[in-house]
Amino acid sequence: MTSDILIVDDTVENIRLLSKLLKDEGYQVRGAADGKTALMLCDKKPPSLILLDIMMPGMNGYDVCRHLKEQPETKDIPVIFLSALNELTDKITAFRAGGVDYISKPFEALEVLARVATHSRIVTLQRTLMEKNAQLKALAETDSLTGLFNRRYLISQVNHRPVPYSLILFDIDDFKQINDQYGHQFGDEVLICLSNVVMEQCREQDIAARWGGEEFLIYLPNTHLKQAKQIAETLRVNINQCCCNQARSISASFGIASQTQGESLELLIKMADSALYRSKLKGKNCVELA
């Protein structure tokens, strides 16, 4: 990824020299002649790295850096101070303001390139690490086939949200027969199709998880039994209309349980499972309440 560098200096000639130097090395470069303009550019599109002068009219470099470090969107942008101030106290102030490096003016081209390259590599490595961590987090929390959350994640979330809630437990009717007759690839398509229906219907506060195999569980916070039944009925109808293939229609059976007296998650799942079992006995493709 090419680094996007913002040069902030009230001397236009310095911006011109640094821009040419960095562009020749393949960097994308923008310039700002004062602190307010620099902050505006950062708000619109945060750069990968900033070369920042200190002595500027209006807002000095220290204040610009402090402002950047106070904002969540810009606090992680590395700032390299570039200044004619060479006293130790100036450098200490720069680092305390949040700078990662300090280059003295008049600057040497090779030194600027070396330090920019070093901090650009660090930025790239940090971004790669964040992406990898996000991927690992997704793998730990979601079901790889359906994209729904997994059992572990749902349990962890319910245990951290001590509010009254309802559970909808359901599974696909005759799923083994579907796999046996049409193959496991078609069975996977059914699971994905059903999961898409679930994701489209779930509210922002709900958590839907693949509980195992063809079984799914939806956590509905602050939702009473009657409202949960309405949600399940709508979901049942939408699943009936989910046409994965012209070969057959798809249906699901549902069991619902609600927390009324602080019942544990384990108990509510057992209650919902018993209700689901009754819906199977009643002919499937229906909703039963615990």
pLDDT tens digits along 59-116: 999 999 999 999 999 999 999 999 999 889 999 999 999 999 999 999 999 999 999 9
Domain stop point among 101, 117, 139: 139
214 among known catalytic residues:
yes
Answer yes or no: do 284 and 158 share one domain: yes
Are 103 and 8 in the same domain? yes
The answer on pLDDT for 9 being more than 60 is yes
Whether 194 is covered by a domain: the verdict is: yes
Q: Show which of 114, 139, 164 is a domain's final residue.
A: 139
CA distance 211 to 219: 11
Q: Please report the pLDDT score of residue 140 as a whole number.
A: 85
Map residue 80 onto helix, strand or coil. Answer: strand
pLDDT digit string, tens, across residues 37-59: 999 999 999 999 999 999 998 89
DSSP code for 191: H
243 has a pLDDT exceeding 70: no
- Sequence-distant (6+) residues with CB within 8 A of 282 are 288
Range of the domain at 224: 149-289
Supply the CATH number for residue 106's domain: 3.40.50.2300
Q: Omega of the bond prior to 221 within 30 degrees of 0, cis?
A: no
Q: What is the pLDDT of residue 282?
A: 94
Domain end: 120, 139, 158, which one? 139
CATH number of the domain enclosing 262 = 3.30.70.270
Question: Same domain, yes or no, for 283 and 154?
Answer: yes
Catalytic one of 111, 214, 266, 288 = 214
Residue 216 has pLDDT above 90, yes or no: yes
Say if residue 1's pLDDT is above 80. Answer: no
**Average pLDDT in the 196-201 region?**
93
Q: Is the pLDDT of residue 2 over 70?
A: no
Query: Is the pLDDT score of 126 beyond 80?
Result: yes
Q: In Å, what is the CA distance from 96 to each residue of 12, 66, 90, 222, 263?
A: 27, 9, 10, 47, 52
